[in-house]
Amino acid sequence: MAKLEFGTKLWLALVGVILFGDLYALWEGKETYTEALARAMLRPRKRWLVVLAWAFTTKHLFFGRVVKWADPFAIMALGIGVLRKNLVRG
């Protein structure tokens, strides 16, 4: 079996967290991720945060190579890279 790359492990962990979180919420009779998203979309002040977060994530995952400078996650990664470089140096 081939060794899993770190990014693949992160995706599997994310799926596990979401799956476990929803199953646990259902077991305890609590709000699931889907229900929380639906509730946030009903509130005008929170709706724009959900839409913005969804748009950023969609842009990054499906259109990451298109207009790279407009990818918010790539910009954050670049900033972290600059910080790491400067902190390691200093």
What is the per-residue pLDDT across 74-87, written as a single tens digit (0 to 9) for each?
A: 888 888 888 888 88
Closest C-alpha among 16, 18, 46, 48 to residue 34: 18
Per-residue confidence (pLDDT) for residue 26, from 0 to 100: 96
Question: Is the entire prediction scored with pTM above 0.85?
Answer: no
Instruction: Indicate if 11 and 36 belong to the same structural domain.
Output: yes
**Span between the terminal Cα atoms of the chain, in Å:** 42
Instruction: Indicate if 37 and 51 belong to the same structural domain.
Output: no
Instruction: Indicate if 62 and 35 belong to the same structural domain.
Output: no
Per-residue confidence (pLDDT) for residue 75, from 0 to 100: 82
Predicted confidence band of residue 17 (pLDDT cuts 50, 70, 90): very high
Spatial contact of 53 and 40, defined as CB atoms under 8 Å apart = no
pLDDT tens per residue, range 21-76: 999 999 999 999 889 989 999 988 889 988 888 888 888 888 877 877 778 778 88
Instruction: Indicate if 58 and 82 belong to the same structural domain.
Output: yes
As for how many domains the chain has, the answer is: 2
Q: Is the confidence at residue 19, as pLDDT, over 60?
A: yes
Burial environment of residue 32 by CB neighbours within 10 A (0 to 12, 13 to 18, 19 or more): middle
Instruction: Indicate if 90 and 48 belong to the same structural domain.
Output: yes
Range of the structural domain that residue 63 is part of: 44-90
